[in-house]
Amino acid sequence: MKRFPRLCVGAATLAALAALTACGGGGSSSSPDGASRAEDTLDVAIPSAVFAPKEEVATYAVGDAEGYFAAEKLKVDVLNTDGSVAAVQAVASGSADIAAADVGAILAAREKGVPVKAVGGLVRNWPWRMAVRPDSEISEPADLKGKRIGVISLASGSAIYARAYAADAGLDAAEDVELLPVGVGAQALSALEDGEVDVLALYTQAYTMIENTGTEFRYLPNSDAFEGIRSLTFAVTEETLKDRKDVLTGYLRASYKALLFSAVNPEAAMRDGYRAFPQLLTGKKADDRIGDDTKTLQAWIDTAVPPTGEPTDYKDWGTISDGEWNKTVDYTKKSGQITEDVSVPDLWDDSLLDGANDFDSAAVIERAKAARP
């Protein structure tokens, strides 16, 4: 696995990228007659450093350890970036072939003329929440007026959510609240407890990671306006989609198989995560961390699988309905990340999903159940 320095970019850079043509990764493509082909390399951008188990464990680590990438003749390398905007930047510049990025960042890039396409959903259940200390005077969204909101970074989906939340509460997101980057984990908790910020805007898995230490939060309600909005979604450039359809389909299929495996046996998935990202252990033994880390990973998995039903019922991986797209575009406009409606047909290409869903779910489930817990 290649390790790269983090990229830090902003919206202004996305505009400059509109003139760029993204480059495809190395390796050969599958032959039209179905003959055996050489291994393909795919560079995948992750919108963060790996500090807690989430999508990079449930898709990449499991996909690698359980042989799902190998079955697709894929060698997958990881590029860490500083937020979803930076992940889309990496794809647009050719530093990465595909990224799971917040839809808001993908929409913003598309509005600025960057030739990116969304090709498959990942996080389907709204993951963002506003949290305060149990004794905070803030009890409802309108109470955020004049308050400081701690976000992961100003280039993350956290900031997008915070602006949209303020706007949904009838506040001016630019004038009535202040966004301050606080990261996640102990850094974010310290900012809240020390009074540097009044509220945190994080995703559920990040809160679980903190709550594992015994900390308690009180959560502000999300209105119905946030139901059905999509978050992390796989994105590529138009050129990569055109030139590497088979490779991308294989990557999505392996990733969705890995996600299903993780949903069935999150503890086994977490152990795969330790092998791919030993920094998650923070110098401790796996057995000393596995309980809390599995809870943290489960919190993320819950955002990426259907909210009801059993793994045997899961299907249609990656699909996003027109209604969900329309609501997501509206959300992104309200948050100020885009100013005009983005054409969904220009943005969304679901042509890979039939192939990405072409796998034996029962075999994945059986393998997951048999894996070491």
- The string of pLDDT tens digits covering residues 124-157 is 999 999 999 999 999 999 999 999 999 998 877 7
Same-domain status, 178 and 212 = yes
Q: How many domains does the chain have?
A: 2
* Chosen domain end from 196, 226, 256: 226
Q: Is residue 5 part of a domain?
A: no
| pLDDT band, very low/low/confident/very high, at 49 (cuts 50, 70, 90) | confident
CA distance readout (Å), 212 to 294, 295, 303: 11, 8, 18
174 & 80 share domain: no
For the ranges 16-25, 200-209, 238-247, the one whose mean pLDDT is highest: 238-247
Choose one of 195, 226, 257: the last residue of a domain.
226
User: 226, 241, 258 — which closes off a domain?
Assistant: 226
Residue 2 lies in a domain: no
Residue 133 and residue 194 in one domain: yes
* Residues contacting residue 281 through CB under 8 Å, at least 6 positions apart: 274, 289
Least confident of 20-29, 112-121, 362-371: 20-29
Edge-first strand listing for the sheet containing 128-132? 177-181, 147-151, 199-203, 128-132, 218-220
Q: Is 202 exposed, middle or buried (0-12, 13-18, 19+ CB in 10 A)?
A: buried
Do 190 and 249 reside in the same domain of the chain?
Answer: no
Tell me the per-residue pLDDT of 69-91, one tens digit each, with 9 for 90 and over. 999 999 999 999 988 889 999 99
Within this chain, do residues 210 and 113 fall inside the same structural domain, yes or no?
no
* 88 lies in the same domain as 193: no
d(CA 224, CA 182): 27
Shared-domain flag, residues 110 and 138: no
212 shares its domain with 278: no
* The pLDDT value given to residue 155: 72
Residues 117 and 217 reside in one and the same domain = no
Distance CA 364, CA 174 (A): 47
CATH number for position 102 = 3.40.190.10
Q: Is residue 4 part of a domain?
A: no
> Residue 65 falls within a domain, yes or no?
yes
Q: What is the pLDDT of residue 37?
A: 56
- Residue pair 52/184 in contact (Cβ under 8 Å)? The answer is yes
Q: Is residue 1 part of a domain?
A: no
Q: Please report where in the chains the tokens 């699909």 appear, as a residue.
A: 319
Would you say residue 337 lies in a domain? yes
- 47 and 135 inside one domain: no
In single-letter form, the type of residue at position 128 comes to: W
- Dist CA 129 CA 184 (whole Å): 13
Cα–Cα dist 156/47, whole Å: 8
Please check whether residue 301 lies inside any domain of the structure. Answer: yes
Lowest mean pLDDT among 95-99, 328-332, 366-370: 328-332
CA-closest candidate to residue 156, choices 6, 10, 330, 50: 10
The Cα 102–Cα 202 span in angstroms is 13
**pLDDT higher than 60, residue 4:** no
pLDDT digits (tens, 9 = 90+) for 326-360: 999 988 887 788 999 889 999 999 999 999 999 99
- Same domain membership, residue 185 and residue 157: yes
Domain range for residue 135? 128-226
Question: Residue 10 pLDDT more than 80?
Answer: no
> Which residue stretches of the chain are H helix?
11-17, 55, 62-65, 68-71, 84-93, 103-111, 157-168, 185-193, 204-211, 238-243, 245-264, 266-276, 286-304, 322-334, 344-347, 353-356, 361-370
Q: Residue 5: pLDDT above 70?
A: no
Q: Considering the entire predicted model, what is its pTM?
A: 0.83
d(CA 202, CA 188): 9
* Residue 252 and residue 362 in one domain: yes
Which pLDDT score, from 0 to 100, does residue 35 have?
A: 45
What whole-number distance in Å separates Cα of residue 188 and Cα of residue 165? 19
Per the DSSP assignment, residues forming a β-bridge with 179 are 149
Q: Does 161 have pLDDT greater than 50?
A: yes
Partners of 237 in the β-ladder: 116
Nearest to 148 by CA among 182, 189, 191, 199: 199
Residue 307: is its pLDDT beyond 50?
yes
- Of 15-19, 112-116, 157-161, 320-324, minimum mean pLDDT range: 15-19
How far, in whole angstroms, is CA 242 from its chain's centroid? 23
Q: Is residue 177 part of a domain?
A: yes
